Amino acid sequence: MTDWFETAFGPLYPLVYGHRDEREAHRAVQTMVGRVPGLDAGARVLDLACGDGRYIAALRRAGITDVTGADLSKYLLDRARTRGTIGTLVRADMRRIPMMAASFSHVLSMFTSFGYFATDDENYGVLREVSRVLCTGGYLVLDYINAFAVDASKLQQTVRKYEGWTIYEDRRLDDNRRRLAKTVRVAGPAGENLEYEERLRLYEPGELVAAIAECGLSVVSLWGDYDAEAFDKNSSPRCLVVAERIG
């Protein structure tokens, strides 16, 4: 059986997420540089679930060149290579990162690349792998959705156009409000009609902090957006956790 992310992060990805662009990545990286200790020209960075490499490009523009990108999607990795992304690109499942222990000073998990799997143990396994590949004193930046901001009463269908395609998205809460499900239908100019469903486990900030701590990391900052504003459960669009590997 094909997992939803194997479909979502194939050729449909640039259509559905074309609005998440290099400008957003540049903004986030500029915020992290100077605020996340050691994230500078000497850093050894793993961009986990790197997609088509937009964060790798932003890191290089900031002078950080020792970057490895890992992603399960062959399509997105090929797209990264086609666009001229410079750096090491590895096809990998984030539950089993094919890197030696203590290989990196920083691991970035951007744009809600956490919570894709069916069980908590699988999702927390990603954090255990992150801890393993981080060196002592290294840092994780986990960019996640603000689970408190997901209001079932406001979930509705959205319709938007992108390069001649129409994207329909229907959102709902499943599993006693613990999972955000999104049915995506993409209609093309030549009559194409493609559909799939995304499923994301919703973790509140306290759950993330506790899970990260169990993996030997200590949370040092909690931001609510890409400008490093303090997290507010009622108003923050994002939940960015910065954590140090302490042992």
pLDDT in tens, the chain (247 residues): 568 888 888 888 888 887 667 889 999 999 999 999 999 999 999 999 999 999 999 999 999 999 999 999 999 999 999 877 778 999 999 999 999 999 999 999 999 999 999 999 999 999 999 999 999 999 999 999 999 999 876 787 899 998 899 999 999 999 998 999 999 999 999 889 989 999 999 999 999 999 999 999 999 999 999 999 999 999 999 999 999 999 7
Decide if 205 contacts 233 (C-beta within 8 A): yes
- pLDDT score, position 1: 53
Query: Measuring CA to CA, which residue among 31, 78, 84, 82 is closest to residue 56?
Result: 84
Query: CA 31 to CA 27: how far, in whole Å?
Result: 6
- pLDDT score, position 18: 73
**What secondary structure does DSSP assign to 46-89, as a single string?**
EEET-TTSHHHHHHHHTT---EEEEES-HHHHHHHHHTT--SEE
- pLDDT score, position 3: 86
- pLDDT score, position 8: 85
- Chain-centroid distance of CA 212 in Å reads 16
Query: Measuring CA to CA, which residue among 243, 216, 148, 187 is closest to residue 12?
Result: 187
- Chain-centroid distance of CA 125 in Å reads 15
- pLDDT score, position 153: 67
Q: Which residues pair with 51 in a beta bridge?
A: none
Domains of the chain: 4-146+204-245 (3.40.50.150), 152-199 (2.20.25)
- pLDDT score, position 131: 98
